[in-house]
Chain A
């Protein structure tokens, strides 16, 4: 039936950004009304004036606004309507036929932009120090309400519903055996996928232990590592937790500024965690990027949020998270029965010890501490990140061929 065909159709997608949108953005940045300088010499009052002024300067004078369109349109992009939302995704098939299909989910304040530099190493490993057997077919969807995906027009799009949409997406793409990966909000989506256990999903990997951010009461707290992780979570919750609370409770309120002021948007997005903030601030103030967190990359992501005007809709995903947590109170999700891999990056909000990953995922088959990288692991250290995915999923490939 043509109706059904239409509803599950996958359409090629190209990004088109109009010159007047860019001109308007430039004009607003130039017209920014700045506050006075913070009264401290560090991040303890938030994003520093010098960092944001350097960003504004680079954005209007040096940044190439054509980059974003070019980078995205160089890749095979598609949209498909799932559960009432147009899902935008990048789909890069490896030339290696036996490649393992992998759906990777970005987080906030990220987007598919975070994951672009891991596409090469993951889909074309032989060109990036890997072997043909390490190859992945890669699916990178934009979360509903983020980037070029449509905004949900009703409540209920919590990560569990996104997880179901991703299972449907992988099914539509014809993948019957695949793995999933995520950090940040993407870790929540991936965790939900693991609990739901859709047909075809054989394993997951995460680089944020998201459940521990909400509740550590059931986690071991004796070892030095465990104590340190608890302390790091405590620090996160008292040093810039406002964005989390505001987006979880009042996404619409903060949405007004995020839609109306590019500098407000940039400030809000830079203020995620201490480690990534200082790395990004250093890139703008001193021109010294850390790994892939370059000025251009950071601005690709912020420009994407601005042009797609998704500040409010992206913030709503936190509200959905809060609502889902409240609704699920006391109800344990079905146990995860598929293999789980986890990598702790040293600059992450907290360095999850193996004992925590094991407690939350009894089917943990891979745990590693990466040598470098922070919250935006794939973005900052795409090679190390890709290496982790190869390591985490290699045993499943063996299982596949045996």
Chain B
């Protein structure tokens, strides 16, 4: 093998390095924020509330330990490998258990690998977290191109399908010949594409967000009467998801909002906090009252925002929505192949909408596992890492049995 080829598929070790100047500049900018007047309502109906964001700014400059981010990441085995012209950053934690099942988990927006850090223990070291050795996973957590320490695509076309192909290549480079994939939010889009592409080695997928639009939903939009009241309520929530300013702005003009996200840390924090009503109210409570829900702590939330800031990825992360929009338009004309692999789904009660089993079943014919978790919202792995891990164990258990038989 030539050295060139080796370099091209090489896997390098990676350590996060965040310079002091970057932190000083960030602190200075937060301290010098020019604030708008208070919103004119007593709730979040005009957007992220001034008191919440001021509390966040106070904590960010006054109490947050800026060394945390580097420390948390560098405590883990991190790597970089160039795939399809993009440097892909990933965390790779192998379980000490021999027969661990390899699992690739994909984060979403406004998330990053930070969302997934607290599931690493339960998934790779189950015996220390109430599980059994047979439930262990070897874990691969990549940063989506344009996110965190992955490099930014320099050309259009990096939609979920292309990311999915890159992930298959990544798993192949890591020598995994049998593995599973998981994702929520944009990660669900990537995982959905992986399932449909069905690369060699991928044996099953799990979702905590319904990215695929089942035909039934489209029919429903035309004939809402055939639906029960409860289903119409869910449909309303689905429609509401797409009537959001951030989705429209990032889907159509990611560059425009990019200027805000790169230049103003508080502009960035506000935009990131405004994802969905449930996570916003939980995060808001953490900053205003110091009462955190699950692992959505002030420090964890700021680790994620700080990562976006120091990597300067506000615009490049937004572009994935633009790519998604373009891909969705294209797939209308050329629908993707059906998912033939076994699929699993967990509904978290505070997610944007709670997809009924038959919606998921319509999207994924081989739905082998469907469960309603007792707690958790859109950032399920982040908020409830133990419950999320339990779901992974249960969802993928049948595939392990198949493996050993």
A33 contacts across to B, CB distance below 8 A? 262-263, 312
* A252-B248 in contact given A33-B312, A46-B258 (Cβ < 8 Å): no
CB atoms of B253 and A245 under 8 A apart = no
CB atoms of B253 and A45 under 8 A apart = yes
Which of B246, B267, B322 counts the most chain A CB atoms within 10 A? B267
Main secondary structure of the interface of B (DSSP, over half): helix
Is B249 part of the contact surface with A, judged by Cβ < 8 Å? yes
Cα A112 to Cα B131 in complex, Å, equals: 67
**Chain A 223-250 per-residue mask, 1 if CB under 8 angstroms from chain B, else 0:** 0000000000000001111110111111
Q: Which of B155, B244, B257, B274 is close to A46, meaning CB atoms less than 8 Å apart? A: B257
CB atoms of A256 and B266 under 8 A apart = yes
A217 contacts across to B, CB distance below 8 A? none
Which of A242, A264, A268 counts the most chain B CB atoms within 10 A? A242
CB atoms of A38 and B248 under 8 A apart = no
Cα A49 to Cα B268 in complex, Å, equals: 18
CB atoms of A252 and B260 under 8 A apart = no
CB atoms of B256 and A268 under 8 A apart = yes
A392 contacts across to B, CB distance below 8 A? none
* A45-B255 in contact given A253-B47, A260-B267 (Cβ < 8 Å): yes
Give the Cβ gap from B86 to chain A, nearest Cβ, in Å. 13
Q: Which of B53, B257, B267 is close to A242, meaning CB atoms less than 8 Å apart? A: B257
CB atoms of B40 and A246 under 8 A apart = no
CB atoms of B244 and A155 under 8 A apart = no
Q: Which residues of B144-173 are within 8 A (CB) of A?
A: 152-156
CB atoms of A246 and B254 under 8 A apart = no
Is A394 part of the contact surface with B, judged by Cβ < 8 Å? no
A256 contacts across to B, CB distance below 8 A? 33, 35-36, 48, 53, 264, 266-267, 269-271
CB atoms of A250 and B46 under 8 A apart = yes
CB atoms of A241 and B248 under 8 A apart = yes
Cα A49 to Cα B322 in complex, Å, equals: 17
A45 contacts across to B, CB distance below 8 A? 253-255, 319, 322
CB atoms of A261 and B259 under 8 A apart = yes
Is A301 part of the contact surface with B, judged by Cβ < 8 Å? no
Which of B53, B156, B249, B316 counts the most chain A CB atoms within 10 A? B249
Minimal Cβ-Cβ distance residue in B for A242: B249
A252 contacts across to B, CB distance below 8 A? 36, 39, 46-50, 270
Can you list 20 A-B contacts (CB < 8 A)? A35-B261, A35-B316, A39-B155, A39-B319, A40-B156, A46-B252, A242-B248, A242-B252, A242-B257, A247-B245, A249-B243, A250-B47, A250-B48, A252-B50, A254-B271, A260-B35, A263-B263, A264-B259, A264-B263, A309-B34
Question: In the complex, given contacts A39-B154, A267-B255, what are 18 additional A-B residue pairs having Cβ atoms less than 8 angstroms apart?
Answer: A32-B263, A35-B314, A39-B153, A39-B155, A47-B259, A241-B252, A242-B250, A249-B245, A252-B48, A253-B270, A256-B266, A256-B269, A257-B263, A260-B263, A260-B267, A264-B263, A266-B259, A319-B46
Q: Which residues of B contact A (CB under 8 A)?
A: 33-37, 39-41, 46-50, 53, 152-156, 243-246, 248-264, 266-271, 274, 312, 314-316, 319, 322
